[in-house]
Structure 1
Amino acid sequence: MTIDSDPVPPPLRWAVRLLRAESVGLGLVAAFLVYEDLTATAVDLLSALLITAFAIGGAVALWALGSALARRRAGARAPAIVLELMLLPVGYYMVQGGLGWLGVPLALLGLLVVGLLVSSPTNRALGFD
């Protein structure tokens, strides 16, 4: 067993922080959806429960990927990049739907995290030299 004494580079550290912040944000959305599932009159209960489960799964996945990247698990980078790139169409459709104040920052957040994950210091820390 080896102990890696190198500190986590700042781009990787910020990527982990942002992934965890996204996880918390999505967890809050999931909590709201659970509340709505329990209190609203459901027209399509199955769809409501599936959307809630999707939000909970997304929050768990983002947290798990952030934790894996904090431990320098190289295999977590690609799924994290895919999830971050998924923010681009979400942001686009939010802008098209009149929610540009939220869609533009979400798309930019996704691009920022992808940039942090593919930066040279992150590549070295994850062993992609």
Structure 2
Amino acid sequence: MTIDPALAPVTLRWAVRLLWGQAVAVGLVAAWLVFADLTAEATDLTSALMVTAFAIGVAVALWALGNALSRRRAGARAPAIVLQLMLLPIGWFMIQGGLGWLGVPLIALGVGVTWLLVSPPTTRALGFE
């Protein structure tokens, strides 16, 4: 049962939307990885399948955490924050590798969603205060 979104603070609603958006984006990457796994001529099959499984798992986790937070399940906040903080080193290494156009937005997204999740209105809505 989802709680009326009109009663949820805007910070929590945006955090949920961004988690769902990330889930869709990672899901698309996972679909591309499945295609690449099926069409590759020479590959390390075990590594390819593990990377694909990891991407699928992250997509499912992001979607599930978004659903849990939309239902105001306080226990979903910490894992969601951990996944957002994982974007910081990923973005940093992208910047170091010359992909600043992608790394900077990833860092901003991780910091932004983390801020939404720890902001006072979200904290109150999840029952931490």
TM-score, structure 2 length as denominator?
A: 0.95
Give 1:23's aligned residue: 23
- Structure 1 residue 40, shift from structure 2 partner: 1.0
- Structure 1 residue 30, shift from structure 2 partner: 0.2
- Structure 1 residue 69, shift from structure 2 partner: 0.2
In structure 1, distance between residues paired with 2:106 and 2:23? 13
Q: Give 1:9-88 correspondences, 5 Å limit.
A: 9-88=9-88
In structure 1, distance between residues paired with 2:102 and 2:110? 13
- Structure 1 residue 127, shift from structure 2 partner: 0.2
In structure 1, distance between residues paired with 2:42 and 2:66? 34
In structure 2, distance between residues paired with 1:43 and 1:124? 49
In structure 2, distance between residues paired with 1:63 and 1:25? 11
Counterpart code for 1:59: A
- Structure 1 residue 33, shift from structure 2 partner: 0.2
Counterpart code for 2:45: L
RMSD: 1.4
In structure 2, distance between residues paired with 1:83 and 1:8? 22
- Structure 1 residue 43, shift from structure 2 partner: 2.3
In structure 2, distance between residues paired with 1:75 and 1:93? 30
- Measured against aligned partners, the alpha-carbon deviations of 1:45-85 in whole angstroms (never above 9, x if no partner) come to 10000000000000000000000000000000000000000
Matched positions, count: 127
Give 2:100's aligned residue: 100
Name the SS of the counterpart of 2:91 in structure 1: helix
Counterpart code for 2:108: L
In structure 2, distance between residues paired with 1:20 and 1:42? 34
Seq. identity, %:
70
Q: Where does structure 2 lack aligned partners over 5 or more consecutive residues? A: none
